[in-house]
Structures are given as structure tokens and as C-alpha cells.
Amino acid sequence: MTFLKSFLVLLVMTFSMDRCAPDAPHQNSLDPSSPGYSATGALSGRVLTLTAPYSGIPNALISIPRNLLAVFTAPDGSFLIPNVPSGTITVVITRSGYLPDTLHVQISIGKTQNIEVHLDAVPVISQEQVVTQKIDQWWPGAVYNATVSATIVDADGSADIDSVNVLVDTVNFPMAYSFNSRNFQVTIYSDSLPQHDLQWLVGRSFVVRARDREGAVTMSNPFYVTRIIESEATPFYPVGLDTARASPVFEWNPPQVTFNYSYTIQVVRIDAGNQTVVWTEPGINSTLVSYTYPGVLSSGTYFWTIAVVDDYGNSSRSKEAAFSVK
């Protein structure tokens, strides 16, 4: 009997202590009642180039504007944003030189959502310029033109460049790639201008426009014609089929201009109506009025021209001066 009473007393005391003891703390981050619970997940991924071989784009900004969260990508294009509130979020990816991208991503509590983004590199325009040229000739007369050139590169490869053109006022001129100069060019002749006069270009802005296959468009800063050279140097000797020695001394009268310039002399051989350039010498000092051919010309018929070239590359070429070598 005594044993039974002792057992009942012990049972009652154990039950009372159990009722009075505090609940054990919860440490499960997925349990809403846990102190460590957070209704967030994480966002990770990589930002890559648009075309293969896909490489990471560093320093791209990954932002979640609604939650004021943002990080930059690592050198390999990877990133991680922790503690992103769950639900559907808007992710904005930006990088200088690329078109921005926007994604809508679902974030689950306690999970990391991985994404892969491919950014389109926009064309980059540089070294844009316009150079004018006057080419005087006996027939059919002087010809005027302007050559527009620009270097266009695209990080997604040259094949991604869809079109390049130059806008002059309201007139549009398509540009084509030149393998010789490794840039995009177009030569505009005076006959193709509204007033059939190259002077129409003076004071009007030139803007190069490049578009890639994904539709990204880049516009250059405006640039302008610097000069149209009308004055020219005039050949003095040999001219009019003069007989010259095999190493002729070319003589000329200088142009009447006040700007800095140099000369370019060119010698062309004529064989049965066919013309072959045999010598071109640019960068001749403007103080000279004669220049000796540095080689030996074989017997035949030739003509030579001399061009005035300013510091911007604008030029004015003389009429042809014919001579012969016996």
C-alpha cells in the first residue's frame, strides 16, 4: 500500500513538471514558427554573350528594383543574390555596350533559382569621318566626291552587323564593308546630291547608323565636311607629251591656299589605252616645287598628276600631264 502511494505521488509530480516546462526552441528555417524562418529564397546564374562560344560577361548589373537588391557579375559572368523575397520578381540585367534585358522569375522559399541570360552586344562606331576629293581631268571635266568611312565592331562578331548607313540631312546612303581599308565606306558623288553640287554637304551633319541582326541600333555623333579644296597645283614639266629622261624631274606651280597641306604625285603608264599605276608618292613637303622620280622608267607613254592634300585628307588633283620616255 505504501509503495502504491509513493508511485502515485511521483506520477503527479512528473506530470506537473512537464506542464510547467517551456517549449523547446524550433530552428527549422522552413517552419513559420521558427525564429530562423524567412520567407525568402536566392537567385543565381550567369550572364553570357549572345553567340557561341558563349563567354561570361563581367560587371553586368543584376538588379531587383522592387526589393532594392543588386549585384555585379563576377569575371566569369556568375552572380548570387541571397535573401530574395519569395514570389514573382522582376530582374533587370544591364551592362554598358549591351542591350538590357528583363526577366520575370519565380522565387520559392528556401530554394535557389538559377537563370542564364544572353545579352546582345550593340554595334560600336568609331573613327567616323568624311573626306572630300576633287579630281580634275581633261575630259569630261572635274569630278567631285565625298567618301564617308567608319569603323564598326560588334562583340557578337562581324556577322551580327546587319546594316550600316550614313544620314546626311534627309538623305540616306548605305555603307558597305571594305576589305582593303577594313571599315565601312560609301563614296557620294555630286550627281547624287539634291543640287548636284558637293557644296550642298557643307554645314550639314553626317550621322552613321549601325544596326545588328537583333535590332540593336547605334548612332554616331554628328560630324561634318571640313573643306572642299578647289585650288590645285599645276604641272609645269613634263607636259604635252614632252620627252623626259628615265628618271624625270617633275615640276609644278603651287596652289593658292593658306592651310597646311602636302603633295601626292602619281605616275601612270599607258599601253594601248590601258592604264597602270607605276608609282605613287604621298606626303611630299608643301615647300617643294619639284621632285625627282626615285627609279628608272622604261620606254613608253606616261602621264603624271599632283594632288594637294590637307591635314584632314581632303584633296584636289590636277589634270593629267602626259610625257614619254625614249
For 15, list phi and psi in degrees, rounded to 5. Answer: -65, -40
pLDDT tens digits for range 36-67: 557 999 999 999 999 888 999 999 999 999 99
Topology of domain 234-325, per CATH? Immunoglobulin-like (2.60.40)
Which amino acid appears at position 317 of this protein?
Answer: R
* Amino acid 22: pLDDT: 53
Topology of domain 40-119, per CATH? Immunoglobulin-like (2.60.40)
DSSP letters along 149-195, please? Answer: EEEEE-TT-GGGEEEEEEEETTEEEE-EEETTTTEEEEEEEGGGSTT
pLDDT tens digits for range 176-217: 999 988 999 999 999 999 889 999 999 999 999 999 999 999
Q: Report residue 207 as a C-alpha cell.
A: 550621322
Closest by Cα among 326, 317, 11 to 138: 317
Query: Domain spans of the chain?
Result: 40-119, 124-219, 234-325
User: For residue 273, with 0-12 CB atoms within 10 Å meaning exposed, 13-18 middle and 19 or more buried, which class applies?
Assistant: exposed
Tell me the CB-side half-sphere exposure of residue 113, using CA atoms within 13 A. Answer: 20
* Amino acid 320: pLDDT: 98
Cβ neighbors of 99 (< 8 A, separation 6 or more) are 119, 120, 122, 214, 216
Whole-number mean pLDDT of the chain? 91
Same fold, 40-119 and 234-325: yes
* Amino acid 8: pLDDT: 43
Topology of domain 124-219, per CATH? Immunoglobulin-like (2.60.40)
pLDDT tier at 101 (50, 70, 90 boundaries)?
very high
d(CA 93, CA 119): 8
Q: Report residue 41 as a C-alpha cell.
A: 529564397
Query: Residue 37 CB: number of other CB atoms within 10 A?
Result: 16
* Amino acid 258: pLDDT: 96
13 pLDDT above the threshold of 80: no
* Amino acid 17: pLDDT: 47
* Predicted model pTM: 0.79
Return the biggest CA–CA distance within the chain.
Answer: 152
d(CA 293, CA 302): 13
